[in-house]
Amino acid sequence: MKLGLKLHHRIAFWISLIGLIAIISDFGFYQNEFSQQLLYSFYFFVLGIGIISTFSRYFQDRILFRRKAFVFDLISIVFTLWLYYLYLFVGMSFETDLILENPIWVKIAVLFTFIREFSELKINFKRTFLNPAQLFILSFLVIILIGSLLLILPNATYNGISYLNALFTSTSAVCVTGLVVVDTGSHFTLFGQTIIMVLIQVGGLGILTFASYFSYFFKGGASYENQLTLSDMTSAKKLGEVFSTLKYIILITFGIELFAGILIYTSIDSSNFTSQSDQLFFSAFHSISAFCNAGFSTLTNSLYEESFRFNYYLQLVIVFTFVLGGLGFPIVVNILKYMKYKSITLFFLHTSKYRPWVLSLNSRITLITTLSISLVAFVVFYFLEYNNTLAEHNGFGKVVTALFGATTPRTAGFNTIDTTALAFPTLMMVFFLMWIGASPQSTGGGIKTSTFAIATLNIFSLAKGKSRIEIFRREIAEISIRRAFAIISLSLVVIGFAIMFISIFDPEKQLLDIAFECFSAYSTVGLSLGITSNLSSVSKFIIIVVMFVGRISMLSLVIAVFKKIKHKNYSYPKEEITIN
């Protein structure tokens, strides 16, 4: 009987997968009345199979009633039965029933059916076959390829798109870069923009984060091998914290994006949109794009669009969102724990001399580095651009625009000024900010703030004659120092080769423009001096590779390629090498 149920669940999964493909076909291709009716009949067939599969699952194992997934399944069944009622009874009597006016609900139900059936599959991360770095890289490659295929569907664009441009757009979205070869707002339809938005969300969090947590949520557990692999990806210190970390990541992401979306919606003028649904989509798209540090915008000139460049409230919301996204999930969680601790101590008027180490060393270094870089960049940007790109703004507007200009190069990618009009010294600062990027375990790219901090601390340590790096009564581990300098070296190698190759294939382009493009691509920033769409096919492919390498990090790629050797219990004599 168990074998029969397992076979039924496997069949239910494949049917739900075909249902998902049907949804993509429905959106991606033009449908006549007959094919549309055929598709809707199949949708309800998928939903029926999903209900039967869910009931049989609970019939097989009564323990499932005690899990949190039971509430989800109950709501799904009630929702599906409600759709059946509308389709079979109300829909047969009225021409303007809810199901015909809003067919999206049926497709959403099919999507959730697929997620439910997919989560029941046994997903084993075989460390002997693929190490965490290889699995991480492969997941991004798969999503990029799927995204590129979706973007070439007829209904995704108004006038079609070449596969290379679709691959470029998909890579830019999944790698949360923001470089575009075609205008997102005017070239892609609502369906195409939705694909880009989903790719940004999946690329920002990682498909393995979603798949692993949903599987854990519905099953109530995971194998030891899977937990080991996920602990490497999430940097969880304990195996027991792996799925709580995934939960925090998902809750923080959707929580901040929802809050930011509401603020964006209230900050924009409805007269700039044709309908309320367009305004809602604009808010959702830019909220996700901002938190994931993607830099994609449905506006032709991003936030420099004439109707938005003086909306300082909107700009502050966007800054707040992408700065939080660029801090990194461990840092945000640690800040929340610190705020909780401070509120408790204030409430109980705690006067003990003992102060627990609530803010981790990683959080302290990241926050200090982020604030220091942002403050210096803001001051420099304000004074260098005061009579240049900031000239059209008033006093408060100059401050907000300068703050935006100082923070967006650190992988956000939005712009509220004409980037090509920046003074040369400002451009050099932007180069530096793009190279540093965001913080570790975040949605941003670059060498990361912690890497830059360790390199800086190492300089001071050498100047003082110390043999180790010490800060906040802690010593930085040697492996962290080695990783930091490996990341710095590899980033310069990748960027350098990219500049050299593009200058060969596009010799008519200015070296400054090429270098800016390569730094922006590697650090997944998305800012450009306007040459992206005019690059040759080979140069576009080079940028695609640079964006991908920048998102996964060159060090992860090297780790994935080279086979790890076993630790040897010996050491050779040490010798110093002449450096200077």
Do residues 415 and 278 share a domain? no
**Does pLDDT of 311 surpass 80?**
yes
Residue 380 in any domain: the answer is yes
Do residues 552 and 420 share a domain? yes
Residue 352 in any domain: the answer is no
Do residues 288 and 141 share a domain? yes
Q: Choose between 95 and 295: higher pLDDT.
A: 295
Q: Choose between 264 and 413: higher pLDDT.
A: 264
Do residues 84 and 181 share a domain? no
Do residues 142 and 259 share a domain? yes
Residue 538 in any domain: the answer is yes
Q: What per-residue confidence (pLDDT) applies to 352?
A: 53
Number of domains in the chain: 3
Q: What per-residue confidence (pLDDT) applies to 508?
A: 92
> Which of 111-125, 231-245, 263-277 has the least mean pLDDT?
231-245
Do residues 115 and 187 share a domain? no
What is the average per-residue pLDDT within 153-180? Answer: 91
Residue 506 in any domain: the answer is yes
Residue 335 in any domain: the answer is no
CA distances from 60 to 74, 78, 215 (A): 16, 21, 18
CA distances from 524 to 308, 444, 520 (A): 24, 7, 6
Do residues 138 and 94 share a domain? no
Alpha helices (H) along 122-241 = 132-151, 163-174, 184-187, 190-205, 207-219, 224-234
| Angle between helical axes of 207-219 and 132-151 (0-180°, round to 10) | 110
Do residues 258 and 393 share a domain? no
Residue 10 in any domain: the answer is yes
Q: Which of 298, 321, 344 is the last residue of a domain?
A: 321
What is the average per-residue pLDDT within 152-164? Answer: 91
Output the pTM of the full model. Answer: 0.85
Q: What per-residue confidence (pLDDT) applies to 100?
A: 44
Do residues 108 and 151 share a domain? no
Do residues 16 and 105 share a domain? yes
Give the chain's mean pLDDT. 81
**Does pLDDT of 407 surpass 80?**
yes
- List pLDDT tens digits, range 5-60: 566 667 887 888 888 888 888 888 887 878 888 888 888 888 888 888 877 777 77
**Does pLDDT of 307 surpass 80?**
yes
Range of the domain at 76: 2-119
Quickly state the pLDDT bin for 530 (edges 50, 70, 90): confident
Q: What per-residue confidence (pLDDT) applies to 208?
A: 59
CB atoms within 10 A of CB 341: 15
Q: What per-residue confidence (pLDDT) applies to 96?
A: 42
- List pLDDT tens digits, range 435-470: 998 888 777 788 888 899 998 888 888 888 888 888
Residue 423 in any domain: the answer is yes
Q: What per-residue confidence (pLDDT) applies to 443?
A: 76
Quickly state the pLDDT bin for 137 (edges 50, 70, 90): confident
Residue 569 in any domain: the answer is no
- What would the two tokens of residue 143 be? 């999503």
Q: What per-residue confidence (pLDDT) applies to 482?
A: 86
- List pLDDT tens digits, range 500-524: 999 999 999 999 999 999 999 999 8
Q: What per-residue confidence (pLDDT) applies to 506?
A: 92
Do residues 288 and 394 share a domain? no
**Does pLDDT of 409 surpass 50?**
yes
Do residues 99 and 22 share a domain? yes
